[in-house]
């Protein structure tokens, strides 16, 4: 399978084939988000990676593949640094990363549900702000709002999801839209399995005869935006039962034009990418 990119690539975010895919499901529980922003008049990509393992949780922040900050949360350590900051100079700028995860609420995903903030401040301007504690973040950083009317915009998200028949996540298909509940349903144990995609409880796509259509693409409309859906569930039906790498891959993207033949390498890979829109890649692991 293809793995998530490292925070230390030389030319931005890279998609590579993993030679260590047998690490097990606990090592795969992570969410990676890529945000497009402006730093000193140039387009940059900020990556935020949330990781969850048996050892604890971690968030990593990077710009164009260079790691800026890594924060680890280990529940058994009382003095885990759940809030703090780090500063450095890059791109002829003074860059600060601030975080407060002391009250963060987590679910099954490594990405917090609320009660936190993580932000990147460049030359005293709020370039990226994540979390619901916006007031606390501005008070702590004394940063000015972004000069750009949009600020940082999410352009790509990649996530590992787990389930038996249903796989759930949240998706924001446009910068000015709302966050939607996205559910993929597929029961591979029945004689005639089918694939169903629901958004906010409403079925928007159904694929029958999935044994024959284990790879393909279709289109659905969300917030009046055309969303291309691409899937590869071959491993669910024809993978070795003893292999831990039998996961399906789904991509949802709003970029146009849409090619019928797809590759995970088509998500934004550098700050020079001219692609617009949003792409969501899901690695769906079945819990037996």
> Bigger pLDDT: 93 or 269?
93
Joined tokens for residue 84: 């703090």
Q: Quick: pLDDT tens for 44-93.
A: 999 999 998 887 889 999 998 888 888 887 765 544 578 889 988 877 88
**pLDDT of the residue at 61:** 94
State the average pLDDT over residues 178-204: 93
Instruction: Rounding to the nearest 10 degrees, give the CA dihedral for residues 143, 147, 150, 156.
Output: -70
Instruction: Rounding to the nearest 10 degrees, give the CA dihedral for residues 271, 275, 280, 284.
Output: -90
Sheet with 195-199, strands from edge to edge, namely 166-171, 180-186, 195-199, 202-207
**Dihedral class, residue 23 (left if φ above 0, else alpha if ψ from -120 to 50, else beta):** alpha
DSSP state of 149: S
What sections of the chain are H helices per DSSP? 134-141, 234-238
Alpha carbons 269 and 54: distance in angstroms, whole number: 30
pTM for this model (two decimals): 0.79
Q: Which residues pair with 120 in a beta bridge?
A: 97, 128
Alpha carbons 197 and 233: distance in angstroms, whole number: 14
Joined tokens for residue 242: 């003893």
What sections of 142-206 are H helices per DSSP? none
**pLDDT of the residue at 59:** 92
Strand runs (DSSP E) across the chain, as ranges? 30-39, 42-53, 56-63, 66-73, 83-90, 93-100, 117-122, 125-131, 153-163, 166-171, 180-186, 195-199, 202-207, 215-222, 225-232, 247-253, 279-286
Q: Which range, of 42-46, 180-184, 262-266, averages the lowest pLDDT?
A: 262-266
């Amino acid at each position: 399978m293809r793995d998530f990119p490292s925070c230390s690539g030389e030319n931005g975010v890279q998609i590579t084939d993993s030679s260590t895919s047998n690490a097990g499901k606990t090592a795969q529980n992570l969410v990676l988000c890529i945000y497009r922003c402006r730093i000193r008049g140039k387009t940059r990509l900020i990556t935020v990676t949330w990781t969850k393992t048996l050892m604890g949780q971690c968030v990593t922040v990077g710009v164009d593949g260079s790691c800026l900050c890594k924060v680890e949360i280990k529940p058994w350590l009382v003095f885990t640094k759940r809030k703090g900051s780090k500063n450095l100079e890059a791109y002829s700028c003074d860059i600060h990363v601030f975080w407060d995860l002391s009250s963060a609420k987590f679910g099954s995903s490594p990405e917090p549900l609320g009660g936190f903030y993580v932000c990147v401040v460049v030359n005293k301007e709020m370039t990226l702000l994540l979390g619901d504690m916006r007031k606390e973040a501005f008070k702590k950083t004394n940063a000015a709002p972004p000069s750009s009317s949009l600020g940082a915009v999410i352009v790509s998200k990649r996530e590992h999801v787990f389930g038996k028949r249903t796989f759930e996540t949240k998706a924001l298909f446009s910068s000015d839209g709302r966050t939607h509940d996205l559910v993929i349903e597929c029961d591979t144990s029945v004689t005639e399995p089918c694939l169903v995609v629901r958004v906010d409880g409403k079925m928007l796509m159904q694929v029958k005869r999935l044994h024959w259509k284990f790879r393909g693409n279709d289109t659905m409309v969300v917030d009046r935006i055309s969303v291309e859906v691409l899937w590869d569930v071959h491993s669910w039906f024809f993978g070795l039962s003893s292999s831990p790498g039998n996961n399906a891959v789904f991509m949802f993207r709003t970029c146009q034009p849409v090619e019928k033949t797809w590759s995970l390498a088509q998500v934004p890979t550098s700050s020079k990418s001219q692609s617009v829109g949003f792409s969501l890649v899901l690695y769906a692991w079945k819990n037996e």
